[in-house]
Chain A
């Protein structure tokens, strides 16, 4: 069959699986519904990989384009360019591992609703794949909302607990509001161009110069996507939601969903706004760079101050999203491909770290760094995985996160010389925070942390997600993080991956090529590009940040209390108030900030 025909199936197959699970779920035993869920997810992953291999084939740069329903130029177009198809494949593979991980995870599925958890995960998969593949702005909004709706439900899944409900509600309100802002922007674009496809809108925009309407459309559309991407000041929902969602869901939220927001920003910019009728490159670079730097610094600082392990990992996701945003902000093919590889590596590492924390939660009924002190000495395997994850997070070569970081920081260095230092610093702090927690929990190094004074704080007592506390650790709970870390390592050392990602980045940033491929059916040849590869500076900086991470962690466990630092961070921490009204106010202020940053772009 034609590869293009497979594109809509990547969305349709998991939906069919979800419908089957819901229709039969209440009669199926747990085991069968888990197997059915895994089978549909795996079939989708196979389809996505097939599309990726055909699209990512080196040679003439054509990639599959499918008009759903056969409505050429009238319907919705799905585009399997290597980056989009690659993200769909990443999502699908991560969903499969998550379903395997949750095999033994929820010991007690909701009564009479056995199939509902895998069904929701499958719909989530369909939403994320659809978002990655679509070439239509309104369709992207639909999948944006679909991802959102499923994610709110999954976040609040454990209704017996108070925290997940609060996190899910903040998540729901802020994300929906962002979605409505996006829709207003889409409507403005439609009013101007009378089109909904990325390529068509872009072409018609280029007929006129940029004006206030284009600026407003860009700001509004981007606001919603940045909410999903959790950029400062739209990020407040993320720690609240990711810290409390069930662990398998955290793996997906942090591993891929947030990154899809960054992808959306990049996709919309390159296909719609990058021409002469859009916004000028320097202005967009400035706007995204400012937000990215703020995001990454705030994320790193907050990550370091956490004792609730899932919250710590959530803030590390904020920090890394900031780095991804910087990689996109430099608006070069190298920045995109470096960031894409970084996202690949980060997804595996972050999911593995969440998986390890899940084991701790189910065994000790807490994810509090201080309470767990030295208690997990009996789990050396988990400790090793956790430490390796921390090192990989700090960008240690040859993990894919290391290679991606190296490539992205080199691309960013061409825009501003100090950006590589920021990459090193943030990787070191986030990796260091993980290693610090690992040293305390799994090795019992240093002094028992005492009570800290001042500042708002979230502690980590939680109910285990399995029926009772785990005695023996089931195999999937260990195999999944190990496999994820191994995959992250493999992606970093196989040269074919890096060269394919390089080509994907080049095709992604080729605006004219994208429009021609989608609308005219001309094959786009990949423009000249430099794929991510290991360079001496990259390796040295990676080693440096890993060494810094270890140093920071060691220092922190030796001298656990920094009164000065705590006081310094208290105002920043107070902003993370858990109040929905605050978050909404920040969202509106963020949209205004984005306006101010991009407004010179229309002169």
Chain B
């Protein structure tokens, strides 16, 4: 029974990791990363590691995606900027 759960969780983790890489938009990636954190926490629980699962839940599915989202918000806030074709920016000098 546990074995089957571990296998399922492993596949979930592998899938989530792949999805997190292939989602090139950081906002969507942050959400997938959050899901990856969740599935890792699940896997760790099945592997009898509640301490690690708890950390992973707190860090991997909350703090890291939150930081990514805040970064995106900062980066996108600037009114007017690149849409890929970037200009050399103000250097702040």
Chain A positions within 8 Å of B, measured between CB atoms, are 160, 162, 463
Is B93 among interface residues, defined by CB-CB distance under 8 A? yes
Summarize B's interface: helix, strand, loop or mixed.
loop
Is B91 among interface residues, defined by CB-CB distance under 8 A? yes
B36 to chain A, nearest CB (A): 16
Bin the interface of chain B by size.
Answer: under 10
B34 to chain A, nearest CB (A): 21
Interchain CA distance A162-B91 in the complex, whole Å: 7
Interchain CA distance A162-B93 in the complex, whole Å: 10
Is B92 among interface residues, defined by CB-CB distance under 8 A? yes
Which of chain B's residues have a CB closer than 8 A to the CB of A160?
A: 92-93
8 A Cβ contacts from B35-93 to A:
91-93
A361 to chain B, nearest CB (A): 16
B43 to chain A, nearest CB (A): 16
Which of chain A's residues have a CB closer than 8 A to the CB of B93?
A: 160, 463
Interchain CA distance A162-B92 in the complex, whole Å: 9
Which of chain A's residues have a CB closer than 8 A to the CB of B92?
A: 160
Which of chain A's residues have a CB closer than 8 A to the CB of B91?
A: 162
Which of chain B's residues have a CB closer than 8 A to the CB of A162?
A: 91
A156 to chain B, nearest CB (A): 14
Nearest chain A residue, comparing its CB with the CB of B92: A160
Interchain CA distance A463-B92 in the complex, whole Å: 11
A432 to chain B, nearest CB (A): 34
Interchain CA distance A344-B93 in the complex, whole Å: 39
B14 to chain A, nearest CB (A): 16
Interchain CA distance A443-B65 in the complex, whole Å: 56
B81 to chain A, nearest CB (A): 15
Interchain CA distance A160-B91 in the complex, whole Å: 8
B60 to chain A, nearest CB (A): 15
B23 to chain A, nearest CB (A): 17
Q: List 4 A-B contacts (CB under 8 A).
A: A160-B92, A160-B93, A162-B91, A463-B93
Q: List the 4 closest A-B pairs by CB distance, nearest first.
A: A160-B92, A162-B91, A463-B93, A160-B93
B68 to chain A, nearest CB (A): 15
B82 to chain A, nearest CB (A): 15
Interchain CA distance A160-B93 in the complex, whole Å: 8
A461 to chain B, nearest CB (A): 11
Nearest chain A residue, comparing its CB with the CB of B91: A162
B87 to chain A, nearest CB (A): 13
Which of chain B's residues have a CB closer than 8 A to the CB of A463?
A: 93
B66 to chain A, nearest CB (A): 20
B20 to chain A, nearest CB (A): 16
Interchain CA distance A239-B5 in the complex, whole Å: 48
Interchain CA distance A541-B92 in the complex, whole Å: 50
Interchain CA distance A445-B92 in the complex, whole Å: 36
Nearest chain B residue, comparing its CB with the CB of A463: B93
Nearest chain B residue, comparing its CB with the CB of A160: B92
B31 to chain A, nearest CB (A): 22
